[in-house]
């Protein structure tokens, strides 16, 4: 393993238990019935553990969209052709009357004041120069996971470190909430393969319809995952990622690891992000403390990922777009959870009598 990656993994420590204990005690004294803010109370306490303060004050929000193509897409596992990936990268970067970017993630990010970063992690096209495009591609798309390892070990580690570098940049720019996002036609297929191997379940249990494919394409997709899983019995996390993953998935893993190492909160979007999180927690169990799932997405297998991670989603809106859209939608909930814990007064501070 690359020494920088080894050091990054080793640097991730558990959430601050003492800060969480103080936050819980404060939460129970705030001017409301205990538990009246529901899951926001638990989210606030978890944020206290992330930031090491019983009055957490996260501010900037950044969504880091990594784009990459997949060799398996040529087998017809998606409702859309691979040419959509570079077209969507151009859309993320486009100039529109509303501001930079014409995709869903751009529109949602503008509404919550989040900054969008775009990475070419391995798009199978010659992308035009753009000052806002972060270029880290080592190859134009992965290899076909049905037939061979999708990525080499060196490629896998290089993309993880590239994702970590982009997360550091976003944090230096002021982000306290990091949202890994992705774009890549066919990428729910490698995500399903990763999930099936790491959770030790059959492909059909965690392979869904992705872009909304019909029954025939779904059957082809399940077969592709089974063919990939049959090639190798490896269970070592980085090896699993290299065999079945994608460049954008590796980059998102790096984003998560770096954010946790810097003690920032990571908002998980959906199924593809969940597959990266499974790899990450297998490598560094303490990473789990820094993960905040946005919502349970419509993709089959996401619920199994969340159950394995023992994490509760914030909402269920039937999202299945990717791009980090669900993560951006969840950012205001986390900011609100922190604000209530930080800014509400206790009964004593407010002079409100509790009676005998």
Identify the pLDDT of residue 352: 86
35 conformational bin, left if phi > 0, alpha if psi -120 to 50, beta if neither: left
**What's the CA gap between 116 and 183, in Å, rounded?**
13
In this predicted structure, the answer to whether residue 74 has a pLDDT above a threshold of 60 is yes
Residue 153 CA to chain centroid, in angstroms? 21
**Could you list the residue range(s) of the whole structural domain that residue 28 is in?**
3-55+342-350
Average pLDDT, the chain: 96
Tens of pLDDT along 27-40? 999 999 999 999 99
Please give the helix or strand (H or E) that residue 356 lies within, else none. none
Same domain for 113 and 232, yes or no, is: yes
Identify the pLDDT of residue 211: 84
Identify the pLDDT of residue 355: 65
Tens of pLDDT along 208-222? 998 888 999 999 999
- Residue 117's closest CA among 87, 149, 146, 93? 93
pTM over 0.85: yes
Tens of pLDDT along 289-304? 999 999 999 998 999 9
Is 200 within the bounds of a domain? yes
Is 101 within the bounds of a domain? yes
Same domain for 346 and 282, yes or no, is: no
Is 74 within the bounds of a domain? yes
Query: The domain spanning residue 27 has which CATH number?
Result: 1.10.1610.10
Spatial neighbors of 149 by CB under 8 A, at least 6 apart, are 143, 232, 242, 243
List the catalytic residue out of 157, 323, 348, 349. 323
323: annotated active-site residue: yes
Same domain for 183 and 271, yes or no, is: yes
Question: 128-132, 143-147, 209-213, 255-259: which range is least confident on average?
Answer: 209-213
Structural domains of the chain, count: 2
Same domain for 202 and 269, yes or no, is: yes
**What's the CA gap between 189 and 195, in Å, rounded?**
10
Identify the pLDDT of residue 212: 86
356: confidence class by pLDDT, cuts 50, 70, 90: low
Is 355 within the bounds of a domain? no
Same domain for 90 and 207, yes or no, is: yes
């Amino acid at each position: 393993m690359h020494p920088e990656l080894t050091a990054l993994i080793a640097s991730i420590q558990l959430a601050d238990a003492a800060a969480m204990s103080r936050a819980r005690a404060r939460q129970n004294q705030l001017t409301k019935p205990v538990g009246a803010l529901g899951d926001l109370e638990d989210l606030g306490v978890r944020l206290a553990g992330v930031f090491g303060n019983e009055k957490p004050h996260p501010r900037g929000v950044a969504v880091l969209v990594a784009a990459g193509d997949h060799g398996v897409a040529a087998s017809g596992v998606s409702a859309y052709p691979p040419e959509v990936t570079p077209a969507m990268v151009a859309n993320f970067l486009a100039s529109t009357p509303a501001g930079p970017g014409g995709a869903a993630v751009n529109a949602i990010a503008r509404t919550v004041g989040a900054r969008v970063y775009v990475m070419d992690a391995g798009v199978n096209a010659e992308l035009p120069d753009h000052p806002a495009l972060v270029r880290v591609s080592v190859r134009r798309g992965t290899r076909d996971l049905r037939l061979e390892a999708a990525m080499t070990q060196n490629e896998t580690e290089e993309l993880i470190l590239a994702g970590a570098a982009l997360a550091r940049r976003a944090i230096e720019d002021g982000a306290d909430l990091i949202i890994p996002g992705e774009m890549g036609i066919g990428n729910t297929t490698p995500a399903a393969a990763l999930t099936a191997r790491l959770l030790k379940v059959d492909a059909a249990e965690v392979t869904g319809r992705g872009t909304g494919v019909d029954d025939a394409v779904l059957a082809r997709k399940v077969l592709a995952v089974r063919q990939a899983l049959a090639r190798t019995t490896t269970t070592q996390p980085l090896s699993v990622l290299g065999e079945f993953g994608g460049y954008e998935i590796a980059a998102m893993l790096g984003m998560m690891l770096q954010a946790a190492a810097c003690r920032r909160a990571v908002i998980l979007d959906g199924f593809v992000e969940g597959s990266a999180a499974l790899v990450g927690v297998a490598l560094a169990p303490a990473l789990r403390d820094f993960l905040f799932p946005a919502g349970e997405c419509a993709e089959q297998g996401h619920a199994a990922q969340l159950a394995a991670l023992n994490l509760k989603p914030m909402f269920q809106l039937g999202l299945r777009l990717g791009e980090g859209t669900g993560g951006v939608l969840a950012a205001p909930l986390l900011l609100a959870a922190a604000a209530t814990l930080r800014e509400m007064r206790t009964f004593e501070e407010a002079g409100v009598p509790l009676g005998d």
